[in-house]
């Protein structure tokens, strides 16, 4: 049992009113034991991705390294050996999915941003199969901006104005259209559709004025639920080409919501309590406010204000029988009153002073009526590891205890106050920074070159508590003159694994709390702890032993498993053979158990590979049925970080994306980058009979046309295969369009989950059971705005997932299994004394290495050649050792 209680810490508790007690001699110890058992049984994993830079352009590559840690031990995770990483667009549709092998809690990979993608706010989401048993709030889920200049003809800038008409929120959007050179598109026709929460609220046509501006107005009749959406605007250029732009709507009003949250969780009369303030605007970001608290007689009690991102706190001693109101002043000059919650007549309050650099002071306050000698307990724990337990006899109203900060680990620590009946009555979160959890990286930069195309060499020593560590590190080098650092929002191993991975909901600018170690930042971080909701588990579940259902197994390897039956009954001791001819003949065999189940594990293969599974009875009879176990796809949930969405992505990244054009053009010239080849439009008509097994909302087979697996038997690449096989559907650049709405791409629904049309080529045609084409209004209406351009409903065999299969003969099935993605090597040219190349080198990511290993003496090294551009080069080193200690080091040098 992992109980971490210091004798010195317990002694301090005795000195100031709390009494330490042995874990084994108190009935409350059963709860502590249950906590350890619960968090051990339901151990969780955390994932962090180190990205090579904070934002990207179409044509770029996204390079990343994944760190997976065990939330219980904080060490690199040994629970899962497979990681899934997704690229999701701002419509919450899956663009790309890759599967990576994990060794020692690390792996790495990349995404290529083809020019068939559009600019926008994308998400990178990462998780293990085992993490799916718990809330998706704890997946790694980061919003990144991707601009587009290289493959873009139309640039937009949108400004929103909010007003209220007839008690309805009214939005006026002014969209400016211009080309790459900044020349406005004047008097061009613009058709538009406004969607809130995927429901169409307005559509129409307009024209740009002489300044290139188009004005669109709409109202939000359901402001209590629909706050976000998009404007799909289609502009017709002078050559009649139609360009579609999707513009995010991040809010429909300028209203600011203000919450008041008592420390510990409950307002109690006549107890001086810290009250946290959280003010959030319509987009989900904090907004600072000022104001005052008045009582029910109108008398001013005190003035209040927030200090950072709409967060702050004040102390209030509520009096019996009185009510309180906060009169709030907003930055636009408006005012609004907010009623504070009614205080309880009596109760307990838990207060923690977390501002001292050397200690944490815990204070317990009780109403006078409760000073009856009852014993209360306080527990401080992180991930089920208990770091402090004490009991206190309530014979006076205020008791306090001091805990040395170096006895607490880094990260979020939960303090819980238990009543005499062992029920949690108050909670408080704090954040602790402990230097003992950090790897010290001493970088030797004497070999850094200050010349263009010069060779820069670095070495570093990694240590923890003055001892060398064996660790795995990732190194990213960017030209910060081109890629301006976004220090508050870029990927950061400390803020991710210690802070945001244990918080639900959106955390605005998480890295801010790690940039400085001063009192001001400590106060701001403490305000975050007072206002941010958090629960990895509930105490009532711990006490009752009720946890989540572990539906998804921790994957140790890629496997193919299933059940062999005959006449509906399992076939024991059946002979099962697995075969594949990809990369040479591959054969394995096994025997079914008493339940007819079989399993082939430890399979390692790249990409999607076709396997043949053959089964026979013990007596060699082949007329058996084989059912392959299939894990369904993970559903794409709404973006919890929607407040990070930028309306004008291209405008914000304009300098970067235009400078990137030179690099992309040079890469094209060298044959290292390709543009999408647009295919001619094809219209084909044909009719076949529908079959079942569909997620079609109209019902299986209720479609304008159904394509079955037989029609796809000879397909290699799905988009090419479908080109010419689906009636009344045309293809442009591999994207399907219905002839009814030739300018709106068709939505693609894969096993009930919306994906982007470009995702088609991630599917193996042999995986598909049916493709249902929905074109008519009667069939698309049920899909709302998603059905505006028509819908392709794709159903994979047996419902889809990471594997699918098809029966070709008795006792034989063909299995299409998703294999591991092949990680590419970062392209970095080498220049030496014999190199006389005059080719331009315009890299923005100068160097990326996901695996720099510090050996037993803690030493590591890396080197690279500078690009052919001057600027401030920024080196970011992140890493982890076997004990879970974390490293982050930033160094800059100038190239002239």
At residue 630, does pLDDT exceed 50? yes
Instruction: Choose the weakest-confidence range: 113-122, 448-457, 755-764.
Output: 755-764
The band of 791, judged by pLDDT with boundaries at 50, 70 and 90, is very high
830 contacts 843 by C-beta, under 8 angstroms: no
Q: How many residues does the chain have?
A: 896
Residues β-bridged to residue 489: none
Structure letter (DSSP) for residue 317: -
Distance CA 140, CA 144 (A): 13
Please tell me the pTM assigned to this model. 0.85
pLDDT of res. 20: 47
Instruction: Choose the weakest-confidence range: 166-170, 394-398, 443-447, 794-798.
Output: 794-798
At residue 180, does pLDDT exceed 50? yes
Q: Which residue has the higher pLDDT, 891 or 664?
A: 891
Q: What is the mean pLDDT of the chain?
A: 87
Distance CA 362, CA 565 (A): 62
Q: What is the pLDDT of residues 474-483, one digit of tens each?
A: 999 999 999 9
Distance CA 712, CA 722 (A): 8
Q: Which residue has the higher pLDDT, 3 or 739?
A: 739
Residue 143 CA to chain centroid, in angstroms? 7
Q: Which residue has the higher pLDDT, 783 or 98?
A: 98
At residue 204, does pLDDT exceed 70? yes
Q: What is the pLDDT of residues 59-81, one digit of tens each?
A: 899 999 999 999 888 899 989 99
At residue 686, does pLDDT exceed 80? no
Specify the pairing of strand 747-750 against strand 609-616: unpaired
The band of 28, judged by pLDDT with boundaries at 50, 70 and 90, is confident
Residue 887 CB partners (closer than 8 Å, separation 6+): 438, 439, 440, 441, 462, 471, 473, 493, 877, 878, 879, 880, 881
511 contacts 876 by C-beta, under 8 angstroms: no
Helix/strand/coil for 688? coil
H helices of 532-653, in order, are: 539-544, 649-652
Distance CA 681, CA 487 (A): 46
Q: Which residue has the higher pLDDT, 542 or 529?
A: 529
Which of 458-467, 682-691, 810-819 is most confident? 458-467
pLDDT of res. 24: 54
The CA-atom distances, in angstroms, between 871 and each of 428, 859, 874 are 46, 28, 9
pLDDT of res. 590: 95
The band of 6, judged by pLDDT with boundaries at 50, 70 and 90, is very low
Distance CA 35, CA 31 (A): 6
At residue 161, does pLDDT exceed 90? yes
| Burial 110-131, CB ≥16 within 10 A → b, else e | bbebbbbbbbbbbbbbbbbbbb
pLDDT of res. 12: 35
| Burial 23-60, CB ≥16 within 10 A → b, else e | eeeeebeebbebbbebbeebbbbbbbbbbbbbbbbbbb
**Mean pLDDT calculated for residue range 714-723:** 76
Counting Cα atoms < 13 Å in the Cβ hemisphere of 387 gives 19
Distance CA 203, CA 231 (A): 9
Tokens of 88: 């999701």
Q: Which residue has the higher pLDDT, 840 or 43?
A: 43
At residue 1, does pLDDT exceed 60? no
At residue 689, does pLDDT exceed 90? no
Phi-psi region of 480 (alpha: psi -120 to 50; beta: other; left: phi over 0): alpha
Looking up tokens 């991705």, which residue turns up?
49
pLDDT of res. 677: 47
822 contacts 606 by C-beta, under 8 angstroms: yes
Distance CA 886, CA 47 (A): 13
At residue 30, does pLDDT exceed 70? yes
Q: What is the largest CA-CA distance in the chain?
A: 92
**Mean pLDDT calculated for residue range 753-761:** 74
**Mean pLDDT calculated for residue range 172-180:** 95
At residue 614, does pLDDT exceed 60? yes
At residue 687, does pLDDT exceed 70? no
pLDDT of res. 675: 61
pLDDT of res. 2: 37
The band of 215, judged by pLDDT with boundaries at 50, 70 and 90, is very high
SS in 3 state form for 135-152?
CHHHCEEEEEEEECCCCC
The band of 225, judged by pLDDT with boundaries at 50, 70 and 90, is low
pLDDT of res. 535: 63
pLDDT of res. 318: 94
Closest CA to 646 of 247, 162, 150: 247
Q: What is the pLDDT of residues 344-385, one digit of tens each?
A: 999 999 999 999 999 999 999 999 999 988 899 999 999 999
At residue 800, does pLDDT exceed 60? no
Counting Cα atoms < 13 Å in the Cβ hemisphere of 17 gives 19
**Mean pLDDT calculated for residue range 850-865:** 95
Task: List strands edge to edge, sheet with 348-353.
Answer: 348-353, 359-366, 398-404
At residue 720, does pLDDT exceed 80? no
Share of the chain above pLDDT 90, in %: 58
Q: How far apart are the first and last CA of the chain?
A: 58
The CA-atom distances, in angstroms, between 687 and each of 584, 722, 728, 752, 769 are 39, 14, 11, 24, 16
**Mean pLDDT calculated for residue range 301-318:** 96
Task: List strands edge to edge, sheet with 213-220.
Answer: 155-165, 168-178, 213-220
Long-range contact pairs involving 494-497 (C-beta distance under 8 Å, separation at least 24): 494/886, 494/888, 496/48, 496/140, 497/46, 497/48, 497/67, 497/69, 497/411, 497/886
Q: Which residue has the higher pLDDT, 236 or 708?
A: 236
The band of 615, judged by pLDDT with boundaries at 50, 70 and 90, is very high
Tokens of 770: 């049916």
Distance CA 409, CA 388 (A): 11
At residue 818, does pLDDT exceed 70? yes
Q: What is the pLDDT of residues 253-263, one digit of tens each?
A: 888 999 999 99
At residue 670, does pLDDT exceed 80? no
Instruction: Choose the weakest-confidence range: 82-91, 98-107, 673-682, 826-835.
Output: 673-682
pLDDT of res. 15: 32
pLDDT of res. 537: 65
Residue 489 CB partners (closer than 8 Å, separation 6+): 54, 509, 510, 511, 644
At residue 339, does pLDDT exceed 90? yes
Structure-derived torsion over alpha carbons of residues 648, 649, 654, 658, reported in degrees to the nearest 10:
-140
Residue 640 CA to chain centroid, in angstroms? 8
Distance CA 573, CA 586 (A): 22
């Amino acid at each position: 049992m992992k109980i971490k209680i210091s004798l010195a810490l317990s002694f301090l508790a005795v000195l100031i009113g709390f009494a330490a007690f042995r874990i084994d001699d108190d009935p409350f110890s059963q709860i502590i034991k249950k906590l350890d058992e619960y968090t051990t049984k339901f151990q969780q994993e955390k994932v962090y991705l180190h990205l090579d830079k904070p934002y990207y352009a179409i044509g770029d590559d996204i390079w990343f390294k994944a760190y997976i840690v065990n939330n219980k031990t904080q060490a690199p995770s040994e629970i899962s050996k497979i990681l899934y990483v997704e690229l999701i667009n701002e419509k919450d549709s899956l663009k790309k999915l890759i599967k990576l092998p994990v060794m020692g809690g690390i792996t790495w990979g990349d995404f290529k941003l083809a020019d068939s993608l559009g600019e926008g706010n994308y998400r990178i989401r990462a998780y293990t199969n085992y993490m799916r048993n718990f809330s998706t709030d704890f997946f790694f889920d980061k919003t990144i901006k991707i601009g587009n200049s290289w493959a873009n003809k139309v640039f937009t800038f949108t400004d929103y104005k909010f007003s209220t008409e007839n008690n309805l929120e009214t939005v006026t959007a002014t969209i400016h259209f211009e080309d790459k050179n900044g020349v406005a598109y004047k008097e061009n026709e613009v058709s538009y559709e406004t969607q809130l929460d995927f429901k169409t609220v307005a559509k129409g046509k307009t024209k740009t004025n002489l300044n290139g501006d188009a004005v669109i107005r709409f109202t939000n009749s359901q402001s209590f639920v629909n706050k976000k959406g998009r404007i799909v605007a289609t502009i017709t250029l002078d050559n009649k080409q139609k360009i579609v732009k999707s513009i995010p709507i991040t809010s429909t009003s300028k209203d600011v919501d203000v919450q008041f949250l008592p420390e510990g969780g409950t307002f109690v009369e006549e107890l001086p309590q810290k009250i946290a303030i959280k003010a959030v605007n319509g987009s989900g970001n904090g907004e600072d406010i000022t104001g005052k608290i008045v009582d029910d007689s109108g008398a001013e009690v005190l003035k209040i204000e927030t200090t950072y991102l709409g967060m702050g706190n004040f102390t209030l001693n509520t009096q019996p029988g009185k009510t309180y109101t906060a009169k709030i002043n907003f930055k636009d000059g408006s005012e609004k009153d907010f009623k504070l919650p009614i205080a309880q007549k009596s109760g307990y309050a838990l207060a923690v002073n977390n501002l001292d650099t050397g200690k944490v002071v815990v204070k317990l306050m009780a109403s006078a009526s409760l000073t009856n000698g009852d014993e209360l307990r306080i527990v401080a724990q992180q991930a089920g590891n208990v770091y402090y337990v004490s009991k206190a006899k309530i014979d006076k109203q205020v008791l306090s205890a001091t805990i040395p900060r170096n006895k607490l680990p880094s990260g979020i620590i939960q303090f819980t106050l238990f009543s005499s009946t062992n029920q949690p009555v108050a909670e408080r979160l704090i954040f602790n920074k402990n230097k003992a959890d950090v790897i010290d990286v001493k970088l030797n930069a004497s070999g850094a070159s200050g010349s263009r195309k010069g060779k820069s060499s670095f070495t570093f020593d990694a240590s923890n508590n003055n001892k060398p560590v064996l660790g795995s590190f990732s190194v990213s080098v960017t030209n910060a003159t081109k890629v301006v650092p976004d220090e508050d929002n870029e990927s950061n191993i400390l803020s991710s694994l210690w802070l945001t991975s244990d918080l639900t909901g959106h955390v605005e600018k998480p890295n801010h709390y790690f940039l400085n170690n001063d009192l001001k930042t400590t106060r701001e971080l403490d305000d975050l702890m007072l206002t941010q909701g958090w629960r990895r588990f509930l105490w009532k579940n711990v006490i009752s032993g009720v946890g989540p259902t572990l539906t998804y197994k921790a994957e140790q390897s890629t496997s193919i498993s299933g059940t062999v039956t005959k006449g509906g009954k399992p076939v024991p001791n059946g002979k099962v053979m697995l075969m594949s001819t990809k990369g040479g003949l591959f054969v394995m065999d096994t025997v079914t158990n008493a339940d007819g189940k079989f399993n082939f594990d430890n399979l390692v293969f790249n990409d999607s590979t076709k396997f043949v599974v053959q089964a026979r009875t013990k007596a060699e009879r082949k007329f058996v049925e084989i059912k392959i176990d299939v894990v369904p796809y993970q559903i794409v949930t709404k973006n919890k970080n929607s407040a990070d969405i930028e309306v004008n992505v291209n405008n914000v990244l304009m300098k970067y994306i235009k400078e990137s054009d030179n690099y992309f053009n040079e890469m094209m010239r060298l044959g290292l980058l390709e543009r999408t080849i647009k295919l001619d439009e094809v219209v084909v008509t044909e009719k076949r009979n529908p079959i079942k097994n569909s997620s079609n909302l109209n019902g299986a087979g209720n479609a304008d046309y159904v394509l079955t697996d037989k029609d796809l038997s000879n397909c290699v690449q799905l988009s090419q295969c479908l080109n010419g096989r689906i009636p009344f559907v045309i293809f442009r650049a591999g994207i399907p369009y219905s002839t009814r709405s030739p300018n709106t791409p068709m939505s693609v629904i894969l096993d009930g989950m919306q994906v982007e049309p470009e995702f088609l080529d991630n599917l193996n045609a042999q995986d598909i059971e049916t493709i249902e084409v929905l074109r008519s209004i009667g069939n698309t209406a049920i899909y709302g705005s998603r059905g505006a351009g028509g819908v392709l409903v794709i159903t994979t065999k047996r419902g889809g997932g990471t594997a699918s299969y098809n029966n070709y003969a008795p006792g034989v099935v063909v299995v299409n299994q998703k294999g591991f993605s092949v990680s590419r090597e970062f392209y970095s040219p080498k220049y030496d004394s014999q190199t006389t190349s005059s080719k331009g080198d315009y890299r923005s990511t100068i160097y990326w290495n996901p695996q720099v290993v510090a050996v037993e003496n803690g030493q590591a090294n890396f080197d690279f050649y500078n690009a052919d551009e001057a600027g401030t080069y920024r080196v970011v080193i992140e890493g982890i050792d076997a004990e879970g200690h974390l490293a982050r080091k930033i160094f800059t040098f100038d190239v002239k």
